[in-house]
A and B are shown apart, each in its own frame.
Chain A
Amino acid sequence: EDQVTQSPEALRLQEGESSSLNCSYTVSGLRGLFWYRQDPGKGPEFLFTLYSAGEEKEKERLKATLTKKESFLHITAPKPEDSATYLCAVQVDNYGQNFVFGPGTRLSVLP
């Protein structure tokens, strides 16, 4: 069964304290891995798409990397406005359930 796990479940950082979020996946055939940000009461906001091991994407203080079994979302010098739940999702090959989401990491950045 295709599975996506994320760790830690919750993370509290001081402003400027860099860290990484992990997304591990076990899927039959990976077509792509995606990171989203979700603020309370809102729908997920697309951040990155990664397609192959070794690929990296950057956007402001965020950098996403991909290996054959996991992805990391690195947050450099975070600010309070980076507080949100970060979701990882994989697109798989088998017909009928192409999109599998992880449970998310709830990030809080304290000023």
Chain B
Amino acid sequence: KAGVTQTPRYLIKTRGQQVTLSCSPISGHRSVSWYQQTPGQGLQFLFEYFSETQRNKGNFPGRFSGRQFSNSRSEMNVSTLELGDSALYLCASSLEIGTPGEQYFGPGTRLTVT
């Protein structure tokens, strides 16, 4: 059974640009969550999607947005990039919503903003 996949794995962008990251969950999983991981702040919850609807949201500015498609694949978008957005962005999938114990993480996308 294939795990969670994320593309691209590495990305370098310039301040002010926007970026879109993609996540394909494990087959059959309907919930997708996104996290930002930095050395200073650790792992922080961005948002969770279930059945194409955002169900939970963390404390991030509106520049961070996401969506989920009917096949449960998800994308997150960051507009007007800032240097502080440099981080590892992790996607996690689970069968149902609100079951973090059963979350399976992807390898992450390493975003560097210059």
Contact = CB atoms under 8 A, between A and B. Distances in A.
Are chains A and B native binding partners rather than an unrelated pairing? yes
Interface of B: 4, 33, 35, 42-45, 48, 56-59, 90, 92, 98, 100-108
Given A96-B56, A97-B58, A41 B42 contact: no
Given A91-B100, A101-B42, A44 B90 contact: yes
Interface of A: 32, 34, 36, 41-46, 48-49, 87, 89, 91, 95-104
Contacts of B44: 101
B45 A98 contact: yes
B107 A97 contact: no
B92 A43 contact: yes
The majority secondary structure among interface residues of chain B is strand
A98 B47 CA distance: 10
Contacts of B45: 97-101
A81 to B, nearest CB: 19
Given A32-B101, A34-B100, A46-B104, A98 B56 contact: yes
A36 B43 CA distance: 12
B44 to A, nearest CB: 7
A91 B103 contact: no
A93 to B, nearest CB: 11
Contacts of B102: 46, 49
Contacts of B98: 91, 98
Nearest to A95: B56
Contacts of A91: 98, 100
B43 A44 contact: yes
Contacts of A42: 107-108
Contacts of A103: 42
Contact of B59 (A43, A46, A87, A97): A97
Sorted nearest first, the 4 A-B pairs with minimum C-beta distance are A43-B105, A49-B101, A101-B43, A99-B45
